[in-house]
């Protein structure tokens, strides 16, 4: 039996199993019931095993048929994916792209970009999932995610983007009451707004290439920088955040930048996606669009 014939018969077998019926499989494939039966018989003769148990009332898979069905299903799915991929390359980018991002970054940086993305690619749909916990792109079926910091080793493909500058800020009212720190070591005498864990209360600064780690504390610990921003504006303490989160407040004078000569390197961030093979046309243009737009975030700050 030729390879072409075997592939055709494997596709017929997969549809028979999915439909649980020779008749329904024939209707789905635009074949007669007899032609479907012959295709299954050819496969069984070629493989020298029985794939299906037939009775007047039902079909059931043999153990060999069950194992073989998994491979036949993959062949059909890969053929469909190849055809779909070529269709997307030919046509305008369309369809649903599922994107995961941290809450604050997604709200402040990503969400404002989608109007322009829609204007350029009106047939695309974006599903934006905001979550500060890392999602499993493959298990949760996401096409793309924004990740910060050093990436753990994985099979994901990463496109690194220019880092996000970090700033230390306080309100003029706070500085008037408590004075302005001139060195990171002085922060132990100040109220600092932090996340809850001990590791996240250790703020790292750099001076002439030497790291300076300071364990800080204060009246408020919270897992949201946006929430702590309100506390900083209310003169409650110092805030150590990515600059994009407080750019408007710095421009208006509601917050003041501190210790600029001691800031660490910008925080790296990345676009990550499961694979390069058979990438949807819509995903390609979204990656290109976001790479261009997000590469300006750090420079704009």
Whether residue 205 contacts residue 214, with contact meaning beta carbons closer than 8 Å, is answered with yes
Q: Are 283 and 138 within one domain? A: yes
pLDDT confidence of residue 2: 81
- Give the number of domains in the chain: 3
pLDDT recorded at residue 183: 96
pLDDT of 295: 83
Identify which of 118, 106, 112 has the alpha carbon closest to the alpha carbon of residue 271: 106
Residues 188 and 145 placed together within one structural domain of the fold: no
Distance CA 274, CA 143 (A): 7
Q: Are residues 29 and 73 in the same domain?
A: yes
Of 65, 90, 115, the residue at which a domain comes to its end is 90
Q: Residue 80 maps to which CATH number?
A: 1.10.10.10
Domain with 282 in it: what CATH number?
3.40.190.10
Q: Identify the pLDDT of residue 287.
A: 94
Claim to verify: residue 289 and residue 250 sit in the same structural domain: no
DSSP the chain: --HHHHHHHHHHHHHHHHHT-HHHHHHHHT--HHHHHHHHHHHHHHHTS--EEE-SS-EEE-HHHHHHHHHHHHHHHHHHHHHHHHHHHHSPP-EEEEEEE-HHHIIIIIGGGHHHHHHH-TTEEEEEEE-SSPP-TTTTT-SEEEEESSPPS-S-EEEEEEEEPEEEEE-HHHHHHH---SSGGGGGGS-EEB-SSTGGGEEEEEETTEEEEEE---S-B-S-HHHHHHHHHTT--EEEEEGGGGHHHHHHTSSEEE-GGG--PPEEEEEEES-STT--HHHHHHHHHHHHHHTTHHHH-
| pTM score, whole prediction | 0.64
The answer to whether 85 touches 131, Cβ cutoff 8 Å, is: no
Q: 47 and 194 share a domain?
A: no
Q: Are residues 78 and 31 in the same domain?
A: yes
Are 50 and 193 contained in the same domain? Answer: no
Q: Report the 10 Å Cβ neighbour count for 254.
A: 16
Segments in the chain below pLDDT 50: 301
Q: Answer yes or no: do 24 and 140 share one domain.
A: no
Instruction: Quote the domain boundaries for residue 241.
Output: 166-262
pLDDT for the residue numbered 229:
95
Residues 63 and 105 in one domain: no
Domain boundary among 38, 68, 90: 90
Residue found under tokens 């080793």: 153
> Looking at the structure, do residues 255 and 196 belong to the same domain, yes or no?
yes
Domain boundary among 90, 108, 129: 90
Same domain for 200 and 59, yes or no, is no
Q: In the prediction, which pLDDT does 4 show?
A: 81
- Return the pLDDT at 276: 66
Question: In this structure, are strands 166-170 and 144-148 parallel, antiparallel, or unpaired?
Answer: unpaired
The predicted structure's pLDDT at residue 90: 55
128 shares its domain with 57: no
């Amino acid at each position: 039996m030729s390879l072409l014939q075997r592939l055709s018969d494997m596709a017929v077998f997969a549809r028979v199993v999915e439909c649980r019926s020779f008749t329904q499989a024939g209707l789905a494939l635009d074949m007669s019931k007899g032609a479907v039966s012959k295709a299954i018989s050819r496969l069984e003769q070629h493989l020298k095993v029985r794939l299906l148990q037939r009775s007047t009332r039902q079909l059931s898979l043999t153990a060999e048929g069950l194992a073989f069905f998994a491979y036949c299903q993959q062949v059909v799915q890969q053929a469909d994916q190849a055809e779909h991929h070529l269709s997307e390359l030919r046509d305008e980018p369309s369809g649903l792209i599922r994107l995961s991002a941290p809450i604050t970054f997604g709200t402040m940086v990503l969400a404002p970009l989608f109007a322009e993305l829609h204007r350029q690619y009106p047939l695309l749909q974006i599903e934006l999932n905001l979550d500060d916990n890392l999602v499993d792109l493959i298990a949760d079926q996401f096409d793309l995610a924004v990740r910060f910091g050093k990436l753990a080793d994985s099979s994901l493909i990463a496109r690194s983007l220019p880092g996000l500058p970090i700033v230390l800020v306080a309100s003029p009212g706070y500085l008037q009451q408590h004075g302005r720190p001139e060195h990171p070591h002085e922060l132990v005498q100040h109220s600092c707004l932090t996340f809850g864990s001990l590791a996240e209360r250790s703020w790292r600064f750099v001076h002439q290439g030497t790291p300076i780690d300071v364990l800080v504390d204060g009246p408020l610990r919270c897992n949201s920088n946006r929430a702590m921003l309100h506390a900083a504006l209310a003169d409650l303490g110092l805030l150590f955040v990515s600059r994009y989160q407080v750019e408007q407040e710095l421009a208006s004078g509601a917050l003041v930048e501190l210790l600029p000569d001691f800031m660490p390197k910008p925080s790296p961030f990345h676009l990550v996606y499961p694979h390069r093979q058979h990438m949807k046309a819509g995903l390609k243009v979204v990656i290109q669009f976001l790479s261009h737009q997000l590469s300006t975030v750090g420079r704009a700050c």
